[in-house]
Structure 1
Amino acid sequence: MSEILSERIPLELEGTPVSSIMIEEPFTCTQDCTISDVVRMLAENEVSSMPIIDERNHVVGFISDGDVMGAIAQHRAHTIFTGGDASMLYFDDQSLEQRIEDLKDRCVMDFATRKVVCARPDQSIARVAALLAKKKFKKLPVVDDEGKLVGVIRRSAITEYIFGILFQ
């Protein structure tokens, strides 16, 4: 489920719309992709993250290289609480290669962010920049009024826009 950036944030009344600097045909994956598919797409397209879309082009999730790293990271100890006084502690004794093998055919949605914050094409660059800075996001999907993906806005595109104004 995607969430549109709120208009109630009192930043500015008007400004250059984010649609003027967004990537209009971003790299995406579908919700039925595996982790192997996603890692291959990230590497081939030299991107660090991408929106996940359904068959109607609606944003249903977002996956990043950080999500993949978290999925394969070694977890030293796990505790299972059984509801009483007894708990069970076990250790992750798999190698990195074993964890990768176990994850490669898993669905991307098992590891994706499902509540995705999105911008709209008519929102100002300043409004979107404020959210990217506050949330420490590197990019946001841009969706139309129906929730369909129409682009992606990256922090680097906003920085390039600012540099273009400063160093004309």
Structure 2
Amino acid sequence: MQTVRQLLEQKSSNELIAIGPQATVYQALQTMAEHDVGAILVMDMDDIVGIFSERDYARRIVLQGRTSIGTCVRDIMTSKVVYVSPSQTVGQCMALMTEKHFRHLPVMDEGKVIGMLSIGDLVRATIAEQQFVIEQLVNYIRT
């Protein structure tokens, strides 16, 4: 099974998209829209202090009657960030995401953020791996 490191190496774009905790929710949403992502890291210098997702917005802005312009990301972000290491497998990441009910997963190596995986990244990798196995089995049966 493919490792997180291998998956990150294959991604077309592994740009880290982050915002500071003092930024407004509106600024975070703008950044997310510009990069077409569903979550953004909240970083203070090189340290992850949280993650902000569309789910955070829906549950902590819209449903609580707050405003995007008047609320700082630090006030509504998910501050308990779960992350994985580059040596973990795609399967382990999928199991973790399923168990914890989230769709974005930062990757840390020696205390430094080196990437972010989405559930879409993991599903694509799983489908590609399954397709490869199917092709190998078909070739084996034909020979």
What is the TM-score when the length of structure 1 is the normalising length? 0.68
Aligned to 2:123: 159
More helix, by proportion: 2
1:25–1:150 Cα contact (<8 Å) kept: no
| Residue ranges of structure 1 left out of the alignment (5+ in a row) | 1-14, 76-95
Give the drift of 1:17: 1.6
Aligned to 2:87: 122
| Residue ranges of structure 2 left out of the alignment (5+ in a row) | 133-143
Which one has more relative contact order, counting CA pairs under 8 Å at least 6 apart? 1
Aligned to 1:70: 59
What is the TM-score when the length of structure 2 is the normalising length? 0.79
Per-residue CA deviations over 1:33-88 (Å, capped at 9, x if unaligned) read 11121111111111111111111x2211010112112233345xxxxxxxxxxxxx
Return structure 1 stretches of 4+ with deviation > 3 angstroms.
Answer: none
Deviates more, 1:23-32 or 1:135-144: 23-32
Q: 1:138 aligns with which of 89, 103, 125?
A: 103
Distance in 2 of aligned mates of 1:151 and 1:74: 31
AA aligned opposite 1:131: L
Distance in 2 of aligned mates of 1:124 and 1:109: 31
More strand, by proportion: 1
Q: 1:48 aligns with which of 34, 38, 41?
A: 38
Correspondence 1:61 to 2:50: yes
Aligned to 1:86: none
Aligned to 1:17: 3
Q: Secondary structure at the match of 2:96?
A: helix
CA RMSD after TM alignment: 1.8
